[in-house]
A and B are shown apart, each in its own frame.
Chain A
Amino acid sequence: EAQVTQNPRYLITVTGKKLTVTCSQNMNHEYMSWYRQDPGLGLRQIYYSMNVEVTDKGDVPEGYKVSRKEKRNFPLILESPSPNQTSLYFCASSRTRAYEQYFGPGTRLTVT
């Protein structure tokens, strides 16, 4: 089954404790992206990747890192999480940037 998976689905952590949210797709898609969704602000793009080893900032990249060492994986790294990074995070992928996106199920992160 074609899908985008994210892990973990739920995470509660404390300020400053490094964490990684994994994202994997099995569709051989070139384009992958991370978004965060906050009440009243909607979805905002954090980082995206056009292909392996090619990443670029979205609208809200501060406090986040990404890497794209393999085509299927695009992890989101929070080196020192802060409470303002409490949010619902979505990973998505598409064949290229010109195609519709497939979204993962979301990761609900709480930073205390």
Chain B
Amino acid sequence: KNEVEQSPQNLTAQEGEFITINCSYSVGISALHWLQQHPGGGIVSLFMLSSGKKKHGRLIATINIQEKHSSLHITASHPRDSAVYICAVKGGATNKLIFGTGTLLAVQP
């Protein structure tokens, strides 16, 4: 079993829909990252969080440390949000990053 699991693996939405991507992990962590990877490969860091909730524009990330779960929400989705979204955790006792395999999101106009 992977230490970081994302769901769903694939997601198709209509423009304007509210989207949720989930990330569950099985190790103790010091921080959790959400990354975005567009077709063509470039990776951008969206959020790094260790507790609570962060918001940036239409994106919201939450984390529940007790339940070892994080969610990434996209409000009023747009075709330009189409990308792979990747969750990664930094182990509490290490400096390594462990990645989920990503969620491929396609937002149709």
Which residues from 15 to 60 on chain B have a C-beta closer than 8 Å to any C-beta of chain A?
30-31, 33, 35, 41-45, 47-48
- Extra 14 A-B pairs, beta carbons < 8 Å, given A45-B99, A92-B43, A98-B31: A31-B95, A42-B86, A42-B99, A42-B100, A42-B102, A43-B99, A44-B99, A45-B96, A48-B96, A56-B95, A100-B48, A101-B45, A103-B42, A106-B41
Chain A residues with CB under 8 A of B33: 100-101
Which residues from 88 to 112 on chain A have a C-beta closer than 8 Å to any C-beta of chain B?
88, 90, 92, 97-103, 105-106
Asked whether A59 lies within 8 Å of B45 as measured between CB atoms, the reply is no
Chain A residues with CB under 8 A of B102: 42
Asked whether B43 lies within 8 Å of A90 as measured between CB atoms, the reply is yes
Contact pattern, B 72-93, Cβ under 8 Å of A = 1, otherwise 0: 0000000000000010101000
Which secondary structure dominates where chain A touches chain B? strand
Asked whether B48 lies within 8 Å of A59 as measured between CB atoms, the reply is no
Knowing A42-B86, A56-B95, A59-B96, say if A103 contacts B101 (CB, 8 Å). Answer: no
Ranked 9 nearest A-B pairs via Cβ? A42-B101, A103-B43, A100-B45, A43-B99, A100-B48, A106-B41, A42-B99, A97-B95, A45-B97
Asked whether A103 lies within 8 Å of B96 as measured between CB atoms, the reply is no
Interface size class of B (residues with CB under 8 A): 20 to 34
Interface size class of A (residues with CB under 8 A): 20 to 34
Chain B residues with CB under 8 A of A50: 95
